[in-house]
Structure 1
Amino acid sequence: MKKSFQYHIAGLAILLAAGQQAYAQQDSTRLKQEVEVVKAYQPSISDAFKINDLPQIKDEKKDKPTFNYIINSQPVFSTFEVKPVQAAQMVGEPKAELGKGLLKAGVGNYLTPYGELFYNTKAGKNSVFGLHFRHLSSNGNVKLINDDKVDAPRSENVAELFTKHFFRRSTLSTKLFFDRQAHSYYGYAGERRSDEAKEDDFPYWNDKQAFSKGGIQLNLSNEEDTRANLNYDFGLNYHYFGTKTGQTENKATVGSLLQKDFDTFQGLLNASVGFVRTDSILNQTTGNFGHKQQILLNISPAILLEGDVASLKAGINTFTLFDDDDDARVLITPNILAQWSPVKDNLTLYAGANGRMEQNNYSAIAAENRFVTPTQDIRKTEYQYILTGGIKGKFHPRLNYRFQVDYANIKDEHFYIFNTNNFLMDAPTSPLPPRANTFDVVYDDLKQLSLGAELYYTASDLVNFHLQGTYYSYELDSLEEAWHKPDFELTLSTIINPEGPLKFNADIFFKGERKALEQSESFYLASSAIGPHDVDQTVHTLASYIDMNVGVEYQYSSNLSFFGRLNNFAFQQYENWLGYSQQSFNLLVGASFSF
């Protein structure tokens, strides 16, 4: 029996060796295939808002690459106009012991202190935990277009706690967050005025405003489980938003994305329910000072067919909006995307049709334009259809490209204007009242054509360049101009990482001319009734500008580095919003320490 057992073991070893040799031969054929994944370039800026040396916890799992060819640039207008850095994202369980934290601190002109802390650690065998804190403030003066120097304080404070727990076939992510941004209404349009005149004329002159936002995000998904017959991604987002002037907002969204494989296609289902309630605003429907409450339901089924050189996604998007002050609104749009690659990796042609309904909550508008009049009641926006077409691929192994055209039919797009209402006791011959220094929101139906191009060239492993630009054309239903919207935007970025301790990056941003409207409405009181009504309008042209920025980082040791950032070093004076100039040349220097 012992000899029989030995014979079985010897035979099994021979079979395993033969199988391993056959598998190795098969695998060697596979290894000869070359796979190259090209992602949309995302420039890294080594300053207070773009952290190059952020420690990350990397996962052994591999994400399927996603391709997004939409241009979404964010100019580095000044220290405060850079898109804020996100919290450290921990992607799965670590496979090696990494540094746990990063501390950054710096100071700049305009009396600008800066500090930021990231901390990541394993909370258990299957869990990771992280913290992120940030402070940045500025207390200097800004020179307006009319040469008036005004105080323009601003501050940003962020606190975030995030975790990930890994189950056998799914991942649960949580994030608790709080951020507070404060500023003053320091700008105004027109000729220069004395401080006394500004306080008398402008209802919000130099008033302080603060936006506070806190909430929780939960996400449960098994999208990386290739063995699952059904992939899912469930999410819950809630935030509470409040302002110093008394406006509050509660917003909650529950959504899911399901993907199931069938014999010849994949089935997709995207569904969500969103609830938002805003208080202490001027309700546009009732005309009363009170609240607004809405529920948005989205159900979007689709199928996906994929071949060797072509793919087709076909479905519909359905949106239903329930408003306490209005009738329910239903929007149905196509959800189609076709792609064909006649030359694999080098040329892909694509075309599609889509649409959506945006629940324009108050906090989103305040984040876009922080100088908006606090009592605004924000309407929804309907993208009734968006037609897209373009090509993407490579001209050369180091040169990627994308050319895209979009045509959208939009209902109730929002625009910003300077506007104020005044009641006068005198006769209509009295002088018109002064303008406000905050923005009202107006709406119009819009047909928008955009032509976009993007080039990414990797000159070497140490140098790369990124160029992207978009041209816009607007056709409005009733407004004279697409107020504050540019006709052209261009961004050029480069990153240089030579061998050695120094790293460099530079950005050039160009924005074309924009039209802005300054409007004053006067109502005259006659006895107990409102008499004649006058409207005075002034159209301003916000000049085009070029904003140039450069950054440098010096790696002194494996744990300590020093950084510097020069923003707007061409000393350009320009406005993103009428009456509100941006900071001119600003400098930020500091150090970072990893541990």
Structure 2
Amino acid sequence: MMRIQPLLFTLFIFLIPTLSPAQGGQGGGDGSLLPEINPQDIEIRSEFTARFPGLRRQPILGFNPNPRVFQIDPNRMPFMETREEAVADISITQLGRPEPPFRSFLRIPNRINTYIKAGFGSYLTPELNGYGFYKLNESSIASASLNLRASDGHLNTQESGFRYLDINGTYITKIQEDLQLTVNAGALSDFNYLYNLSDPFQDNFIGETSDKEYRGGSANITLQKKQNSLSGWDIGLGGNIFSSTLNAGNSGSSGDMEEQVLRSSFSYYWPGQKIYETFDITGSVEAGTYKSDFFDSQNWTDARASFTYERLFDFTTRIRAKGGVAYVTDTFSENVYAAPEIEIIHNLNRNISVTGTAFGRPEMQTIQDHNQFNRFLNSQTQLRHAYEAGASGEVNYQLFDGNRIFGGLSYTHTKDYAYYFREEIPPANVLGFYDVNYGTANIFELYVGASHQLVPNKFWADVKVYGRSPKLKSGGDIPYEEKLGLKGAVSYKPVKELTINGWTEYIGSRNSPESNTELNSFLLLNAGAEYQINETFGVYAKLLNILGQDYEIWNGYTERPFQMFGGLTVKF
């Protein structure tokens, strides 16, 4: 035994150098006695930066050095205390209040109660447009509008110019919750210089430039009971008076014309049993009497009744079918007509739709309609009703909301179509004023166009180009009707206060049979701008006939050349 102990002691002495490096291999390089820990085994209790002085491996990533709620001492002894001890000394900081969500208030836009646009242009040309609205009480409102356009002095060889004045007023009141009464009234006062007729064989043929004056008034009362948007009825009663005075010196064409028209209507509509199905029964009677210094009083009547059915099928096809009958009489004829009409709108997909229509119906134009379309009419116009039948088709393509490209064609056959020709005044057969003639007409039209609002409330444009073939059955083209035309408009709003716009119209050459010529085509190019200074006042300017075209709408009278306008706008 004594020999064994010295042997064990000797072995221990030799093993000490071997054990020391092994112990040093488990400790940190800086002399720390911490055991080596794998960072993946560390439990992450929050977002903080940890520093372990005894670790020689890659530092731990992914900690946020700026905690939102608390901060734990990074030099603490990790995981040596309990969870309660770890959070016992956490300092709580005040959190910043987050930004509240944006609140968008739905506001009712301010109604413009009064709008006035007044300006002045070259050739002594004033213009005035006005509109007013007033709420009388909780159930009644009243509005009025005024439009004045005038011009003078653009021709050097004769008196020239015109005046158009229209005044209209509306009164609306709710008698009951679903019963509404509407009263409309209006008046007009127009004046036009016409031709300076001359006869080389007579002195003082007229003695002055001929002129014509219109006066008129209208009134209509409508009683409407509307239970909802698909069910209700309307009753209307009204009429208008019109007179014209042609002053043509001693030419023999001077004279007065007077007209009175009465009209009444009734409509009852209701929904069907199926979704998007509606029915409508309508009846109307319109009667007129007119006379002239050249003939006694003449009468006409237009009475109609119709039944309309409309339905939407599978949210893709809408059909509106109308069956009706009409009784029309005038000085020259008396007839009962069928008045059918059908319209089909089919959506091939969300971008493309096709529309087709076919119809047959009588038409009656009044003395006022003819005179306001052609201001050079004489005082001998007599009325005939027309009957037209036709069909049309149109294709619409809409790539996105606010724009469409369209194209279509139509054909109309009309019996007793009203067209205008210029009469000859004896004895020298000098070309004088216009009269109305009637004939059978066939009109074919092809058109294409586009409507775009590329940037909402910033830029929008419309254009339409059409070609027509207006033919009379007796032969030749319909006088004073174009074969080619274009209409376009564009508006741009670079800033909220400024609007820049332009509009144009092209009318192709037209047949003028009295002079065996064609009226030249013309292109009217116009532009304007309006700037709103504040909520109440603004200024505007516009240019008409920028190209300075010498053109005639009706043979023998040259219309206005280039004009400049400027003025103010007021709204509140």
TM-score range, shorter chain: 0.7 to 0.9
Alignment of 1:347-496 (within 5 A): 347-383=352-388, 385-422=389-426, 433-461=428-456, 462-496=458-492
8 Å CA contact 1:235–1:254 kept in 2: the answer is: yes
Q: Counterparts of 1:142-153 in structure 2 under 5 Å?
A: 142=155, 149-153=157-161
Match for residue 182 of structure 2? 173
Distance 1:219-1:393 versus aligned 2 partners, 3 A rule: farther
Residue of structure 2 in register with 1:40 after alignment? none
Q: Which residue of 2 aligns with 1:132?
A: 145
Preserved contact between residue 158 and residue 209 of structure 2 (Cα < 8 Å): no
Q: How far apart, CA to CA, are the structure 1 residues paired with 2:216 and 2:166? A: 10
Shift of the alpha carbon at 1:418?
1.3
1:267 lines up with 2:270 in the alignment: no
For the residue of structure 1 that corresponds to 2:429, the secondary structure is coil
Q: Does the aligned pair in 1 maintain the 2:178–2:226 contact within 8 Å? A: no
Structure 1 counterpart of 2:271, which letter? Answer: D
Distance 1:389 1:201, change over 3 A: farther
CA spacing shift, 1:102–1:338, aligned 2, 3 Å: closer
Instruction: Give me the whole-angstrom Cα distance separating, in 1, the residues matched to 2:186 and 2:280.
Output: 31
Which of 519, 526, 532 matches 1:549?
526
Secondary structure, counterpart of 1:365 in structure 2: helix
C-alpha distance in structure 2 between counterparts of 1:584 and 1:182, whole Å: 20
- Relative distance call for 1:297 and 1:331 in structure 2 (3 A) is same
Q: For residues 215 and 207 of structure 1, what CA distance do their matches in structure 2 show?
A: 27
Q: Secondary structure at the match of 2:369?
A: helix
**Paired AA for residue 238 in structure 2:** N
Decide which of 206, 210, 225 is 1:207's aligned counterpart.
210
List alignment gaps of at least 5 residues for structure 2: 1-105, 246-254
1:161-240 pair list within 5 angstroms: 161-166=169-174, 167-186=176-195, 197=200, 200=203, 206-222=209-225, 225-226=228-229, 230-240=231-241
Q: Is the 8 A contact 1:352 1:389 kept in 2?
A: yes
Match of 1:81 in 2: none
Question: 2:332 touches 2:384 (CA, 8 Å); kept in 1?
Answer: no
Alpha-carbon shift at residue 95 of structure 1 (Å): 6.4
CA 1:375–1:263: 2 relative to 1, 3 Å: same
**Structure 2 residue corresponding to 1:105, chosen from 114, 118, 135:** 118
Q: Report the equivalent of 1:516.
A: 512
> What is the Cα deviation at residue 201 of structure 1?
8.2
**Are the counterparts in 1 of residues 302 and 328 from structure 2 also a CA contact under 8 Å?**
yes
Cα distance in 2 for residues equivalent to 1:559 and 1:197: 58
Work out the percentage of aligned pairs sharing the same amino acid.
Answer: 17
- Report the secondary structure of 2:548's partner residue: coil
**CA distance in structure 1 between the aligned counterparts of 2:301 and 2:441, rounded to whole angstroms:** 25
Between stretches 361-370 and 206-215, larger displacement belongs to 206-215
- CA separation in 2, counterparts of 1:370 and 1:198? 27
* Distance in 2, Cα, partners of 1:201 & 1:396: 65
- 1:485 and 1:511 map into 2 onto residues whose CA distance is 9
Whether the 8 Å contact between 1:137 and 1:155 is mirrored in structure 2 is yes
Residues 314-323 or 266-275, more deviating:
314-323
Of residues 527, 535, 552, the one that matches 1:575 is: 552
* SS of alignment partner, residue 142 of structure 1: coil
Q: CA deviation at 1:293?
A: 0.3
User: 1:401 offset after TM fit, Å?
Assistant: 2.0
Amino acid at match of 2:215: S
Give the counterpart of 2:320 among 313, 317, 324. Answer: 313
- Cα distance per residue 1:532-581 (max 9 Å; x no partner): xxxxxx31211111110001111111100011110001001111111111
SS at structure 1 position matched to 2:452:
strand
Per the TM alignment, residue 203 of structure 1 is displaced from its structure 2 partner at its CA by 6.0
- d(CA) in 2 for partners of 1:224, 1:513: 52
Q: Matched residues in 1 for 2:115 and 2:352: separation?
A: 42
Q: Are the aligned partners of 1:468 and 1:491 in contact in 2 as well (CA < 8 Å)?
A: yes
Distance 1:315 1:120, change over 3 A: closer
**Amino acid aligned to 1:104:** K
Q: Which moved more, 1:391-400 or 1:126-135?
A: 391-400
Whose Rg is larger?
Answer: 2
Distance 1:119 1:398 in 2: 30
In structure 2, what residue type is equivalent to 1:322? T
What SS class does the counterpart of residue 459 from structure 1 fall into? Answer: strand
Letter in 2 for 1:239: N
Residues 187, 437 of structure 1: 8 Å contact kept = no
Corresponding letter in the other structure for 1:422: P
Change over 3 Å in CA distance of 1:204–1:489 after alignment to 2 = farther
Quick check: 1:114–1:136 contact (8 Å CA) kept in 2? yes
Q: How much does 1:98 deviate?
A: 3.3
8 Å CA contact 1:201–1:435 kept in 2: the answer is no
Matched residue type, 1:319: A
2:352 partner letter? L
Q: From the superposition, tell whether residues 502 and 539 of structure 1 become closer, same or farther in structure 2 (CA, over 3 Å).
A: same
- Compare 133-142 and 572-581 and name the one that shifted more: 133-142
**Contact persistence 1:205–1:437 (CA under 8 A):** no
- Distance, in Å, in 2 between the alignment partners of 1:204 and 1:542 is 28
Q: What amino acid does structure 1 have at the position aligned with 2:308?
A: A
1:490 deviates by 0.6
Do 1:138 and 1:153's aligned partners in 2 also have CA atoms closer than 8 Å? yes
CA distance in 2 between counterparts of 1:398 and 1:294 reads 45
Describe the shift of the 1:579–1:198 C-alpha distance in structure 2 as closer, same or farther (beyond 3 A).
farther
1:60-101 superposed Cα distances (whole Å, 9 cap, x missing partner): 9xxxxxxxxxxxxxxxxxxxxxxxxxxxxxxxxx96763421
Any conservation in 2 of the 1:183–1:208 contact (CA below 8 Å)? yes
Residue 205 of structure 1 and its aligned partner are, at CA, apart by 6.2
- Structure 2 Cα separation of the partners of residues 498 and 249 of structure 1: 49
When residues 202 and 390 of structure 1 are mapped into structure 2, their CA distance, relative to the original with a 3 A threshold, is farther
2:343 corresponds to 1:333? no
Quick one: higher RCO (CA 8 Å, sep 6+), 1 or 2? 1
Aligned partner of residue 517 in structure 2, secondary structure:
strand
**How far apart in 1 are the matches of 2:443 and 2:360?**
13
CA distance in 2, matches of 1:405, 1:198: 51
CA change 1:407–1:204 in 2 (3 A) is: farther
